[in-house]
Amino acid sequence: MYKKPVIVFEGIEGSGKSHHILNASKFLKKNKIDFIRLREPGGNRNSEQIRKLILNKKSNFNKNTDLLLYLAARSENIQLLKKYYKKKIILIDRFTDSTIAYQHYGFGVNLKLINFINNFLLSDFKVDYTFLNTVNKKNMIKRLNLRKSLNRYDKFDNIFYEKVQKGFLKLARKNKKKYTIINSNLDINFNRDKVIQIIKRLVWIQLNPLTKKNFLV
């Protein structure tokens, strides 16, 4: 049986992850392949309300409250994710790696606590592939300055973002076969083509149903 993959797009602010998940969505639509797409925090009405609370520039939560709010937003998406798990391709803009990179490597929240709650929420739900988008300080600042409005997480200092990005890279290097690191300082069209080529491989059996390869379980 063909298992539809869960594909996640990760990275710090200004790294291009949302751009690439949009292009991946367009590719799947063009090829008439069923999928769902959601973002974290967010994804449904309750999660979007939590998102507004977390990212509000006037919010000033401590690190543990931040963690619990992110996980509460994830909890609201669990039924949707499990409903389509293995049945439809799932694209996610930020997921568990972001929680670890930001809350643990960025803010110093206990990693065992994060993993315990994530495991409790997700059970057997597993990510199949992750695109980690990286960006240097100069380009991150340039891209953030182009945004019409900034949220609370767009306004931390550069040291914080460096710690978070290093945290992402540590996670990627632990399981290289399931990650592709996208250097977002390179040409955007080059990176777009690279992402789409990997997406094609991940969904190959849907594009070529008679070919038995990739994600056969």
Mean per-residue pLDDT, 2-20? 94
Mean per-residue pLDDT, 7-30? 97
| Domain edges within the chain | 6-207
Rounded CA separation 140/150 (Å): 13
- This prediction has a pTM of 0.92
Confidence of residue 74 (pLDDT cuts 50, 70, 90): very high
Structure tokens at 53: 């609370």
Start-to-end CA distance of the chain, whole Å, equals 6
What tens digit of pLDDT does each residue of 20-62 get? 999 999 999 999 999 999 999 999 999 999 999 999 999 999 9
The average confidence (pLDDT) of the chain is 93
What tens digit of pLDDT does each residue of 80-129 get? 999 999 999 999 999 999 999 999 999 999 999 999 999 999 999 999 99
User: Under 8 Å CB-to-CB from 22, ≥6 apart: which residues?
Assistant: none
Residue 130 in this model has a pLDDT that exceeds 70: yes
pLDDT at 215: 38
**Would you identify the CATH topology of the domain 6-207?**
Rossmann fold (3.40.50)
Rounded CA separation 80/93 (Å): 15
Residue 170 in this model has a pLDDT that exceeds 90: yes
